[in-house]
A and B are shown apart, each in its own frame.
Chain A
Amino acid sequence: MKVKKKIKTIKVVVDKCNGCRACEMICSAFHANPQYSSNNPERSRIRVIRDPLKDIYVPVYAGEYTSAECMGRDKYVIDGKEYGECDFCRASCPSRTLFKEPDSGLPLKCDMCESDPPQEKPLCVQWCINEALVYEEREEEVEEGEMLGDVETGLEAMIDKYGLQKIADTVARISMSSKC
Chain B
Amino acid sequence: MRYAETGFNLEVDLSRGSVDRVETDPGLTELHLGGLGTNARLLWDRVPADADPFSPENLLIFGTGLLCGTPAPGANRTIVTTLSPQTRLMAFSMMGGFFAPELKYAGYDKVVIRGRSPKLVYLWINNDKVEIRDASHLQGKGAGETAELLRQELKEPKAQVVSIGLAGENRVYYASIEQGRSSASRGGVGAVMGDKGLKAIVVRGTKDINVADPAKFMSLANDVLKYIQFRATNPIPGVPAILSGLGSPQEMAIHDESWHTENFAWGNARTRRKGFWTEEVEKTWRETQENARKRLISCYNCPMKCGATVSVPNTPVYMMKCYSKLTYTMAAMSDLEFGFQIAQKATEYGVDAFSAPQTMAFAVELYEAGILTDQNMPGFPTDNKERFYWLLDKIVRREGIGDILANGTYWAAQQIGKGAEAYAHNNIKKHEQLPLKLGMLNPIYFLMYSTGEKIGITQIEGQFPQAPFNTKEEREEFVKDWFQVPDEKFKQYFLDWEPRGENSNPYYPTVGMSCEIVDWMEKMHYIDDALGVCAGLSSFPLKPPYHMHNYPLFISAATGMDIDEAELSQIARRNRTLVRAINSRRGLRRADEKPPEDHWKKRFPELEEQLRDEYYKFKGWNSQGIPTKESLHELAMDFVGEDLERRGIIKNEG
Contact = CB atoms under 8 A, between A and B. Distances in A.
A40 B214 CA distance: 14
Contacts of A20: 298-303
Contact of A51 (B98, B157, B211, B294): B157
Contact of B295 (A26, A29, A55): A55
Given A36-B217, A38-B211, A102-B206, 5 more contacts: A18-B298, A42-B206, A128-B303, A130-B303, A130-B305
Interface of B: 69-71, 73, 98, 105, 144, 148, 157, 180-181, 205-211, 214-215, 217-218, 225, 228-229, 294-303, 305, 309, 316-319
Contact of B296 (A18, A25, A42, A53): A18
Nearest to A30: B218
A129 B298 contact: no
25 contacts: A18-B296, A19-B297, A20-B300, A21-B300, A22-B301, A22-B302, A34-B214, A36-B211, A36-B214, A38-B208, A38-B209, A38-B210, A38-B211, A40-B105, A40-B207, A42-B205, A52-B180, A52-B181, A52-B297, A53-B316, A53-B319, A55-B295, A129-B228, A129-B303, A130-B303
A51 B158 CA distance: 9
7 nearest CB pairs, A to B: A36-B214, A42-B206, A38-B208, A20-B298, A102-B206, A18-B298, A40-B208
Contacts of A22: 73, 301-303
A57 interface: yes
B560 to A, nearest CB: 12
Interface in A30-57: 32, 34-43, 51-55, 57
Contacts of A43: 208
Contacts of A40: 105, 206-209
A41 B319 CA distance: 23
A43 to B, nearest CB: 8
A41 B309 CA distance: 24
A34 to B, nearest CB: 6
B352 to A, nearest CB: 22
Nearest to B211: A37
Contacts of A53: 144, 148, 309, 316-319
Interface string A1-30: 000000000000000001111100110010
Contacts of A35: 214
A156 B207 CA distance: 25
B300 A29 contact: no
Contacts of A39: 69-71, 208-209
Contacts of A57: 295
Contacts of A102: 206-207
A84 B497 CA distance: 61
B214 A19 contact: no
A84 to B, nearest CB: 11
Contacts of A127: 225
A77 to B, nearest CB: 17
Contacts of B214: 29, 32, 34-37
